[in-house]
């Protein structure tokens, strides 16, 4: 069955938009996709004229599309932004080394400067080495925590005003569900914010917040963008996998469910009197943390002391373990 483009341009539609159910032709889709991101950027006041924006680039579809669209919109609407690519090399053989090649290709195609930071440089550990220590379980914790800081440090190095990440609507909806499933009220409250980051830290924004993953894939496909699509070689987080499957099933039943979940997340409000963790800074590295020591420092300390499970167990246990080993060998914390 051939359907005409909903925009009434007279061409044949090539896809049905999951968000609204409209059928669009290729040209109208490109235009609509880009204009929506423009609307998100303006509506959320994500950038200021003349900002230096670090685009977090992994070589995957989301960040490739983000870099491409930001460059295009910057020119079309005179944002006056300076765009740079920022990549983190986790040191995962067979995954990151290949995807970094894609990022380098993007650098040349979109003529944006690229900065690569490696875990090895920053922390002295590659993910491969960490996995050797900790095993395949829980290694995502290390990767996720370290990347968060690596991006912050990278952005600071570049002197960027903000970091743009490629989180899409599906990611956000999934995070809302995950935070409910884990009962994490503090994150549930802030996970739908379009700009995150406390004072002092470089803000992060999500220009693709309201863009469906499906449309991102279609956009990249029709535009023939070069991106890298391989799962990480280390086992993905099983519990999140459940949430992801659930979300995809929901989307199958009712495609607007993703936006509906984001709307729910945005309109939640926390009851007064519910204790929320205080956000302070890490006493060791100065990054944002709700504990005395930030997670990255705890994990790193665990690795360096040969107790890799330190940061995986409960916070109370961590504090006890640190206290005990300090008593036993007070010199270590000085070394660290």
By CB under 8 A, residue 63 contacts other proteins: yes
Q: Please enumerate, as own/partner, the contacts of 14-22 that have beta carbons within 8 Å and a separation of 24 or more.
A: 14/222, 15/218, 17/212, 17/215, 18/212, 18/214, 18/215, 18/251, 18/255, 18/256, 18/258, 19/212, 19/215, 19/255, 19/256, 19/258, 19/259, 21/255
* Number of residues forming the site for other proteins (CB under 8 A): 106
* Dist CA 221 CA 223 (whole Å): 5
Closest to other proteins by CB, 45 or 157: 45
Q: Which CA distances in Å does 329 have to 324, 325, 332, 334?
A: 8, 6, 6, 10
By CB under 8 A, residue 100 contacts other proteins: no
Q: In the set 4, 27, 109, 120, which binds other proteins (CB under 8 A)?
A: 27
DSSP 8-class letter at 124 = S
Smallest distance, other proteins to C-beta of residue 273, A: 9
Q: In the set 3, 14, 38, 217, which binds other proteins (CB under 8 A)?
A: 38
By CB under 8 A, residue 227 contacts other proteins: no
Q: In the set 89, 128, 174, 301, which binds other proteins (CB under 8 A)?
A: 174
Q: Between β-strands 195-196 and 162-164, what pairing exists: parallel, antiparallel or unpaired?
A: unpaired
Q: In the set 64, 171, 220, 300, which binds other proteins (CB under 8 A)?
A: 171
Buried b (16+ CB within 10 A) or exposed e, 188-206: bbebbbbeeeeeebbbbbb
Segment 257 to 276, residues that bind other proteins, using CB under 8 A: 257, 259-272, 274
* Dist CA 321 CA 315 (whole Å): 10
- Residue 184, marked binder: no
Smallest distance, other proteins to C-beta of residue 167, A: 7
By CB under 8 A, residue 191 contacts other proteins: yes
- Residue 69, marked binder: no
Which range binds other proteins by CB under 8 A, 76-84, 107-115, 279-287, 300-308? 76-84
Q: In the set 210, 219, 227, 228, which binds other proteins (CB under 8 A)?
A: 210
- Residue 267, marked binder: no
By CB under 8 A, residue 62 contacts other proteins: yes
Segment 281 to 320, residues that bind other proteins, using CB under 8 A: 290, 295, 311-315
* Dist CA 86 CA 99 (whole Å): 13
> Residue 311's closest CA among 126, 93, 144, 129?
144
By CB under 8 A, residue 217 contacts other proteins: no
* Dist CA 30 CA 324 (whole Å): 59
- Residue 58, marked binder: yes
Buried b (16+ CB within 10 A) or exposed e, 262-297: beebeeeeeeeeeeeeeeeebebeebbbebebbbbb
Segment 110 to 139, residues that bind other proteins, using CB under 8 A: 138
Q: Between β-strands 162-164 and 280-281, what pairing exists: parallel, antiparallel or unpaired?
A: unpaired
Smallest distance, other proteins to C-beta of residue 187, A: 7
CB 66 within 8 A of CB 219: no
Residue 116 in 3-state DSSP? strand
Closest to other proteins by CB, 254 or 329: 254
- Residue 166, marked binder: yes
Closest to other proteins by CB, 283 or 329: 283
Closest to other proteins by CB, 104 or 148: 148
- Residue 62, marked binder: yes
- Residue 88, marked binder: yes
By CB under 8 A, residue 89 contacts other proteins: no
Per DSSP, the residues of 97-108 read HHHHHHHHHHHH
Closest to other proteins by CB, 101 or 266: 266
Q: In the set 1, 2, 78, 331, which binds other proteins (CB under 8 A)?
A: 78
- Report the binding-site residues for ATP: 56-58, 62, 88, 166, 171
């Amino acid at each position: 069955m051939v359907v005409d483009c909903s925009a009434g341009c007279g061409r044949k539609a090539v896809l049905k938009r999951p968000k609204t159910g409209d059928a669009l032709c290729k040209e109208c889709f490109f235009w609509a996709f880009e204009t929506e991101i423009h609307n998100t950027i303006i509506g959320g006041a994500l950038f200021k004229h003349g900002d230096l924006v670090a685009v977090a680039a992994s070589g995957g579809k989301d960040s490739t599309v983000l870099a491409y669209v930001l460059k295009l919109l910057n020119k079309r609407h005179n944002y006056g932004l300076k765009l740079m690519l920022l990549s983190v090399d986790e040191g995962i053989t067979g995954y990151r080394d290949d995807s970094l090649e894609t990022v380098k290709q993007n650098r040349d195609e979109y003529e944006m400067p690229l900065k690569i930071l490696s875990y090895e440089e920053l922390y002295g550990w590659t993910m491969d080495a960490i996995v050797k220590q900790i095993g395949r379980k829980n290694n995502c914790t290390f990767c996720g925590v370290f990347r968060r800081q690596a991006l912050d440090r990278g952005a600071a190095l570049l002197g960027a005003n903000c970091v743009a990440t490629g989180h899409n609507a599906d990611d956000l909806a999934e995070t809302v569900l995950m935070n409910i499933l884990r009962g994490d009220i503090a994150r549930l409250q802030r996970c739908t914010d379009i700009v995150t980051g406390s004072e002092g830290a470089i803000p992060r924004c999500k220009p693709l917040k309201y863009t469906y993953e499906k449309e991102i894939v279609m956009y990249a496909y029709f535009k023939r963008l070069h991106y890298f699509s391989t799962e990480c070689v280390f086992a993905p987080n099983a519990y999140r996998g459940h949430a992801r499957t659930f979300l995809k099933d929901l989307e199958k039943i009712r495609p607007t469910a993703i936006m509906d979940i984001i709307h729910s997340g945005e309109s939640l409000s926390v009851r007064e009197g519910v204790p929320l963790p205080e956000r302070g800074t890490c006493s060791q590295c100065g990054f944002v943390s709700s504990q005395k020591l930030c997670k990255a420092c705890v994990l790193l300390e665990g690795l360096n002391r040969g107790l890799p499970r330190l940061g995986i167990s409960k916070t109370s246990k961590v504090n006890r373990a640190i206290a005990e080993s300090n008593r036993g060998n007070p010199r270590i914390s000085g070394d660290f």
